[in-house]
Chains A and B, each alone.
Chain A
Amino acid sequence: QKEVEQDPGPLSVPEGAIVSLNCTYSNSVFQYFMWYRQYSRKGPELLMYTYSSGNKEDGRFTAQVDKSSKYISLFIRDSQPSDSATYLCAMRFNQGGKLIFGQGTELSVKP
């Protein structure tokens, strides 16, 4: 079993839709949770960062962590064609720990 599981998609939605991206993980020791966005042929860029459980909102993006279910989510409201990219979840055990990535979900937002 992989430490972090993420549906690779592809996921295709119309412009303006609400997008829900998810990851599950197996190790309850993970404390720090991140979402990265990666455009084609580019390096990943950090989108959201949360510590432990709870929600965090930044503009159209909301990151949610449910440690009891070992489940994290990223919601994108009013999705735009420019949101089309691969979204990678990542997590680590502690402040200095290694970053473990999910497989990434490919998202396409159609005009």
Chain B
Amino acid sequence: SQTIHQWPATLVQPVGSPLSLECTVEGTSNPNLYWYRQAAGRGLQLLFYSVGIGQISSEVPQNLSASRPQDRQFILSSKKLLLSDSGFYLCAWRDGYTEAFFGQGTRLTVV
């Protein structure tokens, strides 16, 4: 069966520090991968999605970037965090036969 791993679960980072969040999927090949952000009391905002290795689409211009170095690995990065980057970051995957399945999320607080 397919599983999705996302880490860390919680992160507190100072303003101006770099960020790297990792997501890996098991049990499927060539999935579509997504990064979402959820602000408190808000819905999910799509940040990036990828349909294959090295193929990244950005939905919202901001202080973040994404990379997909391997088929089932998706990384969210920032060179310098802003206070406004705080939020709940969710990785998700889907293939041609399923709806999106989400990881357990990373709660990022920028201080």
Contact = CB atoms under 8 A, between A and B. Distances in A.
Interface in A3-22: 4, 6, 8
A42 interface: yes
Contact of A43 (B41, B42, B99, B102): B102
B101 A46 contact: yes
Interface residues of B, number: 24
Interface residues of A, number: 25
Contacts, number: 54
B111 interface: no
A43 B105 contact: yes
Contacts of A44: 44, 90, 102
A49 B44 contact: no
Interface in B23-60: 32, 34, 36, 41-44, 46, 49, 51, 59
B68 interface: no
B104 interface: yes
Given A96-B51, A99-B100, A100-B46, 13 more contacts: A4-B43, A6-B43, A34-B99, A42-B104, A42-B105, A44-B90, A46-B100, A90-B100, A99-B92, A99-B99, A102-B43, A103-B43, A106-B41
Interface of A: 4, 6, 8, 32, 34, 36, 41-46, 49, 88, 90, 95-96, 98-104, 106
